């Protein structure tokens, strides 16, 4: 039965747990859009190989001998074996199953016993390569061979990040946080997209950042949306927000990228929201800091952010428990949740 309401609404609750729906999202969203897959520090030298995911596609980043960065499907052309299981350094890519061997640029170099096969064409059986592009140290892949340039998707986002006082090229990678959530990936994205819950759920964050509707600014662009949080004049708490970055920025690039800049020393945490199943999501967050950020401040930020993350995990898992039954059929969105509506519109457009 449809709820009769005269207010902006969420997506239908059924969309958050239906396995067939996730299949459509993989096909129509994750196979078509630019996605963050890692950083240049993972593939800094010729021969460096890094494993990643774009939606459900296994991706292999490879720096070839000439220094060119490639993104290949991490799938052997023989019988489909995953080629590389973890980040490593090699002069070729050799399948662990029957030892088909590929050059770092993806060309098939040799296949044992292939001389006995009629019409075996090495050249036709290179790895499937995907469009790859960088914004500073951040690497993006798009599974669509006809993808428009990454720049068109990023738009003014790099300028916004620079305006916070962060030079992304000067940042140093610190660590990757990986977390698993018993919730649909869209619930994780939507939770990121509003701070209406912050006064209720995040005591540590709200001691530092002014999340009142008057101060906390929301902004939408074509493919991303942004939240700007000024430091409270009477801030307290465990993280010192004074430094060259004067306010917080929290960006979301459709379909699944979160980017955080916390006030204090220059910093970025960036990472994808990856569906593992209709009701299970992995979140990655790569932390970068300016080289002169104090070690004690970095540790304070990591601890502060981990607490916020744990608070969010409880929230998104509770939403999943509630929406699973699909009754009522959908929820309500307030004005301060309009970035969720922006995300929902892009998603609905992609799904047709
Ligand atoms: S599956 Fe890779 S060589 Fe056979
Ligand atoms: Fe939150």
pLDDT tens, per residue, the chain with 352 residues? 454 677 899 999 999 999 999 999 999 999 999 999 999 999 999 999 999 999 999 999 999 999 999 999 999 999 999 999 999 999 999 999 999 999 999 999 999 999 999 999 999 999 999 999 999 999 999 999 999 999 999 999 999 999 999 999 999 999 999 999 999 999 999 999 999 999 999 999 999 999 999 999 999 999 999 999 999 999 999 999 999 999 999 999 999 999 999 999 999 999 999 999 999 999 999 999 999 999 999 999 999 999 999 999 999 999 999 999 999 999 999 999 999 999 999 999 999 9
Nearest CA to ligand 1 atom 3: 98
Ligand nearest to the CA of residue 125, numbered in listed order: 1
Ligand nearest to the CA of residue 77, numbered in listed order: 1
Distance 107 CA to ligand 1 centre (A): 15
List the beta bridge partners of residue 47.
Answer: none
User: Which atom number of ligand 1 is nearest to the Cα of residue 77?
Assistant: 2
Nearest CA to ligand 1 atom 4: 98
CA 113 centroid distance within chain: 41
Reference 134, options 52, 255, 40, 60; nearest CA is 40
List ligand 1's pocket residues with C-beta within 6 A: 76, 78-79, 81, 95, 97-98, 100
Distance 70 CA to ligand 1 centre (A): 21
- The 10 Å CB-count burial string (b at 16+, else e) for 299-327 is ebbbebbeebeebbbebbbebbeebeeee
Rounded Cα distance, 352 and 346, in Å: 10
Does this model's pTM top 0.85? My answer is yes
Three-state secondary structure string covering 99-118? CCEECCCCCEEECCCHHHCC
Helix (H) or strand (E) holding 30: none
pLDDT of residue 1: 46
User: Which atom number of ligand 1 is nearest to the Cα of residue 81?
Assistant: 1
Ligand nearest to the CA of residue 84, numbered in listed order: 1
Of 60, 79, 111, best ligand 1 pocket probe by most atoms within 8 Å of the beta carbon: 79
* Residue range 88-137, pLDDT digits in tens: 999 999 999 999 999 999 999 999 999 999 999 999 999 999 999 999 99
Of 75, 76, 83, 108, best ligand 1 pocket probe by most atoms within 8 Å of the beta carbon: 76
- The 10 Å CB-count burial string (b at 16+, else e) for 6-38 is eeebbbbbebbbeeebbeebbeebbeebbbbbb
Structure tokens at 316: 């998104």
Distance 141 CA to ligand 2 centre (A): 27
């Amino acid at each position: 039965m449809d709820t009769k309401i005269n207010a902006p609404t969420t997506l239908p609750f059924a969309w958050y747990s239906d396995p067939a729906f996730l299949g459509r999202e993989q096909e129509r969203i994750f196979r078509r859009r630019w996605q963050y897959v890692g950083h240049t520090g993972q593939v800094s030298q010729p021969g460096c190989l890094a494993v990643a995911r774009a939606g459900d596609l296994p991706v292999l980043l490879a720096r070839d001998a000439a220094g060119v960065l490639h993104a290949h499907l991490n799938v052997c052309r023989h019988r489909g074996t995953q080629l590389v299981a973890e980040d490593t350094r090699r002069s070729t890519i050799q399948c662990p199953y029957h030892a088909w061997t590929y050059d770092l640029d993806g060309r098939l170099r040799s296949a044992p016993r292939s001389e006995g096969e009629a019409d075996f064409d090495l050249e036709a059986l290179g790895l499937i390569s995907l469009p790859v592009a960088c914004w500073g140290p951040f690497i993006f892949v798009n599974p669509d061979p006809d993808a428009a340039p990454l720049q068109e998707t990023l738009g003014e986002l790099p300028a916004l990040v620079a305006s916070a006082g962060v030079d992304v090229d000067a940042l140093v990678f610190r660590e990757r946080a990986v977390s698993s959530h018993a919730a649909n990936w869209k619930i994780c994205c939507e939770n990121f997209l509003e701070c209406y819950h912050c006064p209720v759920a995040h005591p540590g964050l709200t001691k530092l950042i002014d999340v009142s509707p008057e101060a906390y600014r929301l902004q939408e662009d074509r493919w991303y949306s942004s939240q700007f949080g000024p430091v409270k004049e009477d801030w307290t708490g465990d993280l010192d927000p004074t430094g060259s970055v004067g306010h917080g920025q929290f960006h979301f690039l459709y379909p699944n990228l979160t980017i955080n800049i916390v006030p204090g020393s220059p910093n970025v945490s960036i990472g994808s929201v990856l569906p593992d199943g209709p009701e299970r999501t992995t979140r990655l967050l790569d932390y970068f800091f300016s080289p002169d950020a104090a070690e004690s401040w970095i540790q304070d930020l990591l601890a502060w952010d981990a607490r916020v993350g744990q608070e969010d995990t409880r929230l998104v898992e509770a939403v999943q428990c509630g929406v699973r039954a699909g009754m009522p059929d959908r929820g309500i969105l307030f004005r301060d949740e309009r970035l969720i509506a922006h995300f929902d519109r892009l998603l609905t457009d992609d799904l047709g």
